Structure 1
Amino acid sequence: MNSVILSARDVDFLLHEWLDTDALFERPTFAQHSRETVDAVLELAQAVATEKFAPHARSNDLHEPTFDGTTVSLIPEVGVALKAFADAGFLTAGVPEDRGGGGLPTSIISACLAWFHAANTATSGYALLSMAAANLIRTHGSDAQRTLFAEPLADGRFTGTMALSEPGAGSNLSDLLTRAIPQEDGTHRLFGRKMWISGGDHELADNIVHLVLARTPDAAPGTKGISIFIVPKYLVAEDGSLGERNDIVLAGINHKMGSRGTVNTAPVLGDGAHTPGGAPGAVGHLVGEVGQGLPIMFSMMNEARLGVGIAGTAVGYTGYLKSLAYARERLQGRLLGAPPAGPQVALVEHPDVRRMLLAQKSFVEGALALMLYCSRLLDDAVSLDGRAAEEALALVGLLTPIAKSFPAQWCLEANTLAIQVMGGAGYTRDHDVEQHYRDNRLNAIHEGTHGIQGLDLLGRKVLLDRGRALGLLVARITQTAERATAAGGSGEGYAAKLLAMTARLRDVTTRVAVAGGGAEVLAEATAYLEGSGHLVVAWLWLEQWLAAHGKEGDFYDGKRAATAYFFSRELPKVGLWLDTVAAHDGLTTALDPTVL
């Protein structure tokens, strides 16, 4: 029986028939693995996700975390699932072997994580935060910090958070006010308030490792004065034993519309509720150098942004599969021209329902291809040498804002269509699809809003190094178009459309560069992001069309149908978005806010 969580067949197609994952095992970095070991890991991910994560997804939503002023309580199934995740080795499966991990390619880890997010994205959030925190400490921390904090995070005894935002700062980190006062013993004492901190308190683990952005007394203004600190819930002695409670408490928890099972908190540091060592202030350990907090945090942030993309993709994907299953079983209405007393037909027989299902398919399968392609670029960056590795890093840097934002917007649209396909049943709590919509709505805000990703892409990424990364992307798109043209048939038409829209993107980007990226231009950054995202996904659909070319069967016919849909219905939208960027007419910058 096919799963309604995720499609194992699609994952197999993307990894093996398209991305040729087997080629990775010929490189020294991944030579210890094989097709057999990878398939076993993917099967294990599907099993754990299905048996331990999916069953309590609804309960996680209906019985959200509670806070009694002292303790945050969650349903017990969350802890059981996270222990199963850790026991199966997923916390360290992607960590290099020389650092104690399984050394699996990132593309395989991303496919595994898609299973967990599709099954239960709220519970998965705790594990993903812990993995990202451990990776940051491994990369930038001292040997002692790796031993005392990264290792317990890796084996599931500790969990992690990212404590960036503050009540008065939000996404603008240059305004954060949390202070870090140096101490004679080399630690710092932190004072301040944070907001929107996922996983910020609970009883799931022995300890919680908060990675906190703060300013030292002589810090420069703006983002250059930010440092990053490890602030544990309980102090950790040199021998690894836990000590007294650190001076960090909750002002309360936030009640979200979706992903409710991932507790979201408002922590207070240094209010004197606890006085470790007899003095107020949360004890923190500086990671790296003073003033390097934001560059260090971005190593975790970029990983988290790709993680958000995987989450958005997976939640959209499971909604698609559930609405598809419903549409195949639900009898309703008759086709136009059929006798009124004739038998009813399944919803899937109606053309408009097919349109909505095909749209969902094009969004979620296109997004999964995007996420696995970015993951494969990370694999290339660590397993190739010289220029090839540099190009892979440049490309994934360019694509990260798109990989975070496209699933957050268009897989959410898939969730909307899933509700519509199911009609009245879709918006009732008797079915999962309304929860999937609410869960996915948060992903356009998590780890940098949609607008921030647009500013990052248009204001920085495409113009870096004289547009080198964009040039690399265009070269790869052109190579795909050449292969599709050679394949003939509809591939020739797809290639022509893709090349024409790619030329339009290059032209508009050049105009932006000449204009100097002023306020009126950057005001249209979201349109640029949306246009670029649709163009990239169209390219990856043509890649999938080529991988399916000449192969027979319903699965491959589905790939061809989704490609046709995306090129005929979605790719033309790119021109409209790029027209908006090229015009940069000042509509929003010149607008008097009083008219709103």
Structure 2
Amino acid sequence: MSYRRTTDFLLHDWLEVSSLQSRARFADHNRETFDAVLDMCEKLAAEKFAPFNRLADTEEPWFDGEKVHLPAASHAAAKAYAESGMLAAAQDYELGGMQLPCVVEMAANSFFSKAGIGIGGGGMLTSGNANLLMAHGTPLQQQVFAANEFGGRFSGTMCLSEPQAGSSLSDVVTRAVPDGADFEAEPLGPRYRLRGNKMWISNGEHELTENIIHLVLAKIPGPDGKLVPGTRGISLFIVPKKLVGTDGQLTGERNDVALAGLNHKLGYRGIPNTLLNFGEGKFPVRGSAGAIGYLVGKSGEGLRCMFHMMNEARIAVGLGATMLGYAGYEASLAYAKDRPQGRPMGPSGKDATLPQIPIIRHADVKRMLLAQKSYCEGALALELYCARLVDEAHTGAPDDAAQAALLLEMLTPIAKSWPSEWCLEANSLAIQVHGGYGYTRDFPVEQYWRDNRLNMIHEGTHGIQALDLLGRKVVMDGGKGLQLLASRINATIERALALPDFAEQGNTLAATLAQVGAATKAAWATGNPEEALANATPYLQAFGHLVLGWIWLDVALCAQARAATLDHALLQGKLAACRFFFRHELPRVGAWLQVVTRRDDTCRTMDEAWF
């Protein structure tokens, strides 16, 4: 079953994206224009990305002391992507954008993630960087920096983590001090000098574009010269690699941003991952050390601004994880159809005189393929659903928009974490289907696993997403978000119970929803956060499986309703994947929730000396 057929079904049959054209922002669009964008991206990914995915993995970026070198294919792919207009796909026409719905933009970008995520991952960062500036930057910052990022002249990064702090942003120590008495008169925004180090910066140094625009979190010292503890003191700054005038042209001055080194990673090897030093004096600018940065928004509100980019990035990370899983699924499916091994089991056992059969005919191989299909197609549906919520939040009627925004808040930890865990498992199963060959570089599945392993870590680790879900999302506003999600799940359950063929799944999902609700209350029964959150990760796993069960049932109901017009194999494939998920996966939820409900203290009370 081709990926494109599944995508078309989810977009047009399930999410009914053509209905968006009734809204003013998307009035120029219809199915024909949406399909044209998908056609373009599918073709571009097949020509400029997929053939060089292995090359980008084996020819890692290297630094000669002055420049970071990448293969010519990476330059060609970045150029082709910029020229396609996809960097500005969702932006206004006035910015050179297409005013595409987010859900169509995400679907179009999925082709690049599947074809070569180690080549195309930079586009997400650049678009996210520019989108943040469109939300929080001044008109001139938008014109000088964001517009040139959308046009492909500049690329963008996000600089949060520091070597000593990691994910603990409250411990950021990069400093930003006013640059002269007239620092507030700078047209590009209040001008500061930054000093500090940033770690794990994807695309932090390269020659793919004219300039790199870093968005940097730093703290402005108080009157006593000390940094404000915690996250309240964090501000956000635009720090360009090369200084830019108000006309958007390079001034010829190099900013005081220096590459300290490249990180050599398990996967995602085609994207330079860097340690950057800001203001160390290697490139003194305008007579002194300190990287010049321009304040975005208000001082002390940097984290709020940055989360605009991070939340968008978390959905994109989930989609990237999904597509790596999907690429492995397609590869193992093709292998299973071609690889002869074993013979059919007859009433008297196996007959060695018969020819071997393709391994796809063995039940256990079908199990592994069905698991991959249920993980990857379910995750794809989840990501596109979340992107559709973004469109609703931006362009829907006020009440619908508010509900969409709240539901998106609830689902973002799942949209990032669930595909990162289970599509990685899909990659592991793809290796297993290949047998010993899967463990070699003769086939691409080992690279897909290596690339995907990063996704449980970046943009908020699995544990951080778990704490966010159980510690904040399910209890915020008296549990309104959880109640809204439960109402949506119950609506799907009611539709299922009205159809005999789906009654089993409807009842199973209802029981699972009740389990999660009871566990949520039990976790917080004592009101002690330390007790409640000690088992947040199994709670996240259970909650994610609940959400995916809901997504799969909703997709299956849609497929059944469209049975008269759908391709028979596509329809039966969706129904079988739904059955598999309900019968093989949802039973895990009870085991995960046992420790949550009991507020089990095994991990919390483990003494470090006992290890």
Corresponding residue of 1:47: 43
SS of corresponding position for 1:228:
strand
SS of corresponding position for 1:212:
strand
Which of 11, 14, 25 is the matching residue for 1:29?
A: 25
Correspondence 1:248 to 2:263: no
| Residues in 1 aligned to 2:136 and 2:119: alpha-carbon distance in whole angstroms | 27
Corresponding residue of 2:499: 487
Correspondence 1:193 to 2:200: no
Moved over 6 A (4+): none
Which of 97, 109, 113 is the matching residue for 1:101?
A: 97
| Residues in 2 aligned to 1:356 and 1:214: alpha-carbon distance in whole angstroms | 47
Cα deviation digits, residues 148-206 of structure 1 (max 9, x gap): 11011001111110100000000001011100011134210000111111110001000
| Residues in 2 aligned to 1:352 and 1:512: alpha-carbon distance in whole angstroms | 37
Correspondence 1:283 to 2:298: no
**For 1:393-412, what aligned pairs fall within 5 Å after superposition?**
393-412=405-424
| Residues in 2 aligned to 1:106 and 1:175: alpha-carbon distance in whole angstroms | 34
Correspondence 1:267 to 2:276: yes
| Residues in 2 aligned to 1:9 and 1:307: alpha-carbon distance in whole angstroms | 21
**For 1:306-385, what aligned pairs fall within 5 Å after superposition?**
306-336=315-345, 337-385=349-397
Which of 546, 553, 559 is the matching residue for 1:542?
A: 553
TM-score (norm 2): 0.95
Correspondence 1:81 to 2:77: yes
| Residues in 2 aligned to 1:554 and 1:515: alpha-carbon distance in whole angstroms | 51
Correspondence 1:520 to 2:524: no
| Residues in 1 aligned to 2:232 and 2:146: alpha-carbon distance in whole angstroms | 26
| Residues in 2 aligned to 1:100 and 1:115: alpha-carbon distance in whole angstroms | 22
SS of corresponding position for 1:277:
coil
**For 1:558-577, what aligned pairs fall within 5 Å after superposition?**
558-577=573-592
| Residues in 2 aligned to 1:29 and 1:574: alpha-carbon distance in whole angstroms | 41
Cα 1:517–1:94 shift into 2, 3 Å: farther
Q: Tell me the CA shift for residue 125 of structure 1.
A: 1.3
SS of corresponding position for 2:88:
coil
| Residues in 1 aligned to 2:399 and 2:207: alpha-carbon distance in whole angstroms | 47
Correspondence 1:210 to 2:218: no
SS of corresponding position for 2:213:
strand
SS of corresponding position for 2:275:
strand
| Residues in 2 aligned to 1:317 and 1:131: alpha-carbon distance in whole angstroms | 24
Correspondence 1:92 to 2:98: no
The amino acid that maps onto 2:527 is G
Q: Tell me the CA shift for residue 100 of structure 1.
A: 4.3
The answer to whether the 8 Å contact 1:29/1:382 transfers is: no
The amino acid that maps onto 2:545 is H
Count of residue pairs brought into register by the alignment: 591
**For 1:226-241, what aligned pairs fall within 5 Å after superposition?**
226-241=234-249
Which of 553, 572, 579 is the matching residue for 1:557?
A: 572
**Percent same amino acid among aligned pairs?**
51
Which of 226, 229, 232 is the matching residue for 1:224?
A: 232
Corresponding residue of 1:299: 308
The answer to whether the 8 Å contact 2:110/2:319 transfers is: yes
Q: Which consecutive unaligned segments of at least 5 residues does structure 2 have?
A: 184-190
Q: Tell me the CA shift for residue 129 of structure 1.
A: 0.5
Corresponding residue of 2:186: none
| Residues in 2 aligned to 1:182 and 1:264: alpha-carbon distance in whole angstroms | 29
Corresponding residue of 2:480: 468
The amino acid that maps onto 1:300 is M
Corresponding residue of 2:64: 68
SS of corresponding position for 2:29:
coil
The answer to whether the 8 Å contact 2:406/2:481 transfers is: yes
SS of corresponding position for 2:475:
helix
Which of 387, 392, 411 is the matching residue for 2:399?
A: 387
The answer to whether the 8 Å contact 1:444/1:450 transfers is: yes
Corresponding residue of 2:188: none
Q: Tell me the CA shift for residue 99 of structure 1.
A: 4.8
Correspondence 1:420 to 2:432: yes
The answer to whether the 8 Å contact 1:65/1:260 transfers is: yes
Instruction: Compute the RMSD of aligned alpha carbons.
Output: 1.1
Cα 1:531–1:364 shift into 2, 3 Å: same
SS of corresponding position for 1:153:
helix
The answer to whether the 8 Å contact 2:317/2:416 transfers is: yes
Correspondence 1:585 to 2:600: yes
The amino acid that maps onto 1:315 is L
Q: Tell me the CA shift for residue 97 of structure 1.
A: 3.6
The answer to whether the 8 Å contact 2:522/2:596 transfers is: no
Q: Tell me the CA shift for residue 586 of structure 1.
A: 1.1
